[in-house]
Structure 1
Amino acid sequence: MSVMRIAVVGGSLAGLFTATLLRQQGHDVMVYERSVHGLGGRGAGLLGKRETFAILRASGCEHVARVGVVARERIVFDGADPPIVTQMPPQMQLSWDSIHRVFREHMTEGAYLLDRKVEQLHEEADRVVIRFEDGSDASADLVVGADGIASVARRVVDGSSATNAYAGYVGWRGLLPELALPNLAAEQLLDRFAYFRLPQSHVIGFLVPGPNGETETGRRRYNWVWYRPAAGTSARDEVLTDREGRIHPYSLPPGALSEHARERLVDDARRLLPRPFAAAIEATAQPFVQGIFDYESRRMVSRRITLVGDAAFVVRPHTGMGIAKAAADAMALQKHLSLAPLESALRDFGQEQVQAGRAIAASGRELGVHLM
């Protein structure tokens, strides 16, 4: 296997997973992240999946798998009083922040650059030229497009019409210290996976580690997600309008929601949700919003560019597979590059992961059908 100069476009988890594994193979890897201040603090909770644990082992970060919160009970609010509490197989709940921080720290000085927004990729016979917003450029033998739902790399690989399809609903989300939960909510929600379903909507909640990976009682955080319809472009844009009146294309980060929108969310929660969930939402100082979109790549590879993570497939979060799919892509790319020359490796990688991505995307649509 020859050593390559590899540019990873996008420094979120898909990019960091891929960069870490390819650096382990001996490649010269650079990560270009478009955000100015980094991505710390932007994530929420996630459910531990087989692929996530596998990449933690493969990258030497297995200790992160122990920095999680385990739920062994499920509580379902269905109109019954008291709600239904059942035992369930132990479920590990992880923190996006903790995983991102550990992988970010694995990158050597100067190999992860912020404020490097890629505007264009140009494939040549023996390299890819990367042009940045500031007019500078760089080149690489291989570019990995890990630039998410708004991917620049996707347009080169999968065509100029490679646009995301809005699913017709959004996920309102919150993350708050467990000590901020009112007693009413804490008594029923803590240490359980909680669920409530209503017409065209459902809400879930679970504990995740604290901002620095804390798992001790009192230092953890509560993560909730409320999926709600927002059919049509105008309804979507209204939900994704920030406190300054700007419409965001895909999501509103913490702190961007207007106070009026937050008050309306709280009022709706009081009216529609069980009291523990409503109390948790009311106690959340900075809710944020995730638009739900679909995208399936027809092709994940071109001659010297490949896609991973959400750049290739945007899958609905009900599967719990977004981060796991990014991990699977990274491990598969590492495997194929170790087995064959670049052209063959990319071809085999693309064929394998397109099939896997389609299966996950189909599962997500099926799980979300009652929300539309």
Structure 2
Amino acid sequence: MRIVIAGGSLAGLFAAGLLRRAGHEVHVFERSRGGLAGRGAGLVPQEEVFTALRALSLDHLATIGVVARERIFLDLDGSVAGRVATPQMQVSWDHLYSGLRDLLGERDYTLGRAVARAGQGDGAAWLEFEDGGRETADLVIGADGVGSAVRAAVIGLEQQARYTGYVAWRGLIPEDALPATAADVLLDRFAFYTGERAQALGYVVPGPAGELEPGRRRYNWVWYRRADDLAATLTDRAGRAHPFSLAPGQLTDQARDRLRRDSATLLPPQFRAALLAEPDPFVQAIFDYEAPQMVRGRLALIGDSAFVARPHTAMGVAKAAGDALALATALAAHPAEPALQAYQQARLWNGRAIVDYGRKLGAFMA
């Protein structure tokens, strides 16, 4: 089949790689003009990620990670209030992205094509772009995330994700940017601090090219905070409000300075040091969303286009990989439209369960 995918992040890349390996003609359209390399931070891989990488003969990507030997829980004064010996591996989002992106040639991955809408008719499906162009295919996959343009065509109406009232401030710094006092506590551990309707966490991930040697790795930190005025929080240097996030370099100097000032009284000193070492913090608004269905005719949703789960679950990439695996398996066993129904049956409950789990984990932020 000819398959077109809206969205070139990890969900779209997992699907593209698996479906191309199965013999389909696949083309990915990504709205970003400059590509997504360098936009991610760290992630904790789950079993579905390893399974998908094995299926793509990219097993080596699953081994390029940093193991945190324990979890520690900090008090506001920086003392360690608790420890749990739970070793866990963290990988680099951008290194995983680059490995998957390399599976597609330049002709099969188009940048700067923002999807406006999707539809189907006369035995085919289509994507229509904001530039007025159209692509027709046997199957259209919406992997275009929380603000999916394909979603309306699948569920039959406009339906947006619900903002939860808080955001994740993020940074990704060279580990040697940490002062020694902070590095002694944070490095090679998964660290947490939970305050009043707030939480900070951090861990080490590989370097941008997968470097694992101490001194060449990076430290990934996250600070969950309430943000009642989302439009103001997501307004960039040019005065434009974004709907879901600000990328590195888009945050205003005033917002960055305010974040730094707040960290002086609201974060343990180790996390404050990590925050101050990041010249360009970025921010992601936290949403919940559950699609009532994942398929319609020759249209399918995968990843965050179908279910948006809070990052506390550490299952967003695993969910995307699991969707891609299930879709490829179903298409190998059935004709197109029956295959999509089999895919939905396999993944609908899973998506709902992950979103519900995320709500429970994030209940302390209410």
Q: What is the DSSP-based 3-state SS (H/G/I as helix, E as strand, rest coil) of the residue aligned with 1:214? A: coil
- The residue aligned with 2:246 is 252
**Given the alignment, which residue of 185, 193, 199 partners 1:196?**
193
Q: 1:102 aligns with which of 86, 99, 102?
A: 99
Q: Please give the residue correspondences for 1:15-26 in structure 2 after superposition, counting only pairs within 5 Å.
A: 15-26=12-23
Q: CA deviation at 1:328?
A: 0.3
- Tell whether the 8 Å contact from 1:37 to 1:114 is kept in structure 2 after alignment: yes
CA contact (8 A) 1:184 1:279 kept: no
The percent of aligned pairs where both chains have the same amino acid is 51
Q: 4+ residue runs of structure 1 moved beyond 6 angstroms?
A: none
The 1-side partners of 2:126 and 2:140 are apart by 9
CA contact (8 A) 2:77 2:269 kept: no
The residue identity in structure 2 corresponding to 1:365 is R
The verdict on how the C-alpha distance between 1:25 and 1:276 changes in structure 2, with shifts beyond 3 A counting, is: same
Where in structure 2 are the equivalents of 1:319-358 lying within 5 Å? 319-358=313-352
Give the 3-state SS of the residue equivalent to 1:106 in structure 2.
Answer: coil
Task: Tell me the equivalent position of 1:298.
Answer: 292
Q: TM-score, normalised by structure 1?
A: 0.96
How many residue pairs get matched? 366
For residue 108 of structure 1, what is the amino acid of its counterpart?
Answer: G
Which whole-Å CA distance do the structure 1 matches of 2:78 and 2:319 have between them? Answer: 38
CA deviation after TM superposition for structure 1 residue 79, in Å:
5.3
Spell out the pairing of 1:220-299 with structure 2 (5 A cutoff).
220-231=217-228, 235-299=229-293
Q: CA RMSD in A?
A: 1.3
- How far apart are the structure 2 equivalents of 1:85 and 1:133? 52
**Aligned-pair distance for 1:316?**
0.4
Report SS of the residue matched to 1:217.
Answer: coil
Q: What SS does structure 2 have at the residue aligned with 1:110?
A: helix
Are residues 1:369 and 2:363 paired?
Answer: yes
1:72 to 62, 69, 74: 69
1:70 is displaced (CA, Å) by 0.6
Residue 3 of structure 2 contacts residue 26 of structure 2 at CA under 8 Å; is this kept in 1?
Answer: yes
The reply on whether 1:315 has 2:306 as its aligned counterpart is: no
Partner of 2:159: 162
| SS class of match (1:219) | coil
Show structure 1 runs of 5+ residues with no match.
Answer: none
Structure 2 gap ranges (5+)? none
**What pairs up with 1:110-125 in 2 under 5 angstroms?**
110-125=107-122
Structure 1: which amino acid aligns with 2:308? Answer: V
Report the 3-state secondary structure (helix = DSSP H, G, I; strand = E; otherwise coil) of the residue aligned with 2:284.
strand
How far apart are residue 185 of structure 1 and its match?
1.2
Q: Secondary structure at the match of 1:162?
A: coil
Secondary structure of 1:163's counterpart equals coil
Q: Deviations over 1:61-92 (max 9, x none)?
A: 11001111111122211357741453523211
Give the structure 1 partner of residue 136 of structure 2: 139
1:9-53 Cα distance to aligned partner (Å, 9 max, x none)? 111000000000000110011111111111111101001211111
* CA separation of 1:108 and 1:98: change in aligned 2, threshold 3 A: same
Cα distance in structure 1, aligned partners of 2:78 and 2:196: 20
User: Does the CA-based 8 Å contact 1:196-1:204 persist in structure 2?
Assistant: yes
* Distance in structure 2 (CA, Å) of the matches to 1:321 and 1:282: 28
Among candidates 34, 38, 54, match of residue 37 of structure 1? 34
**Are 2:4 and 2:140, in contact at CA under 8 Å, matched by a contact in 1?**
yes
* Alignment check: 8 A CA contact 2:164 2:286 kept: yes
- The question of whether the paired residues in 1 share the 8 Å contact of 2:5 and 2:143 is answered with yes
Other structure's SS at 2:356 match: helix
C-alpha distance in 1, partners of 2:303/2:76?
Answer: 38
Q: CA deviation at 1:241?
A: 1.3
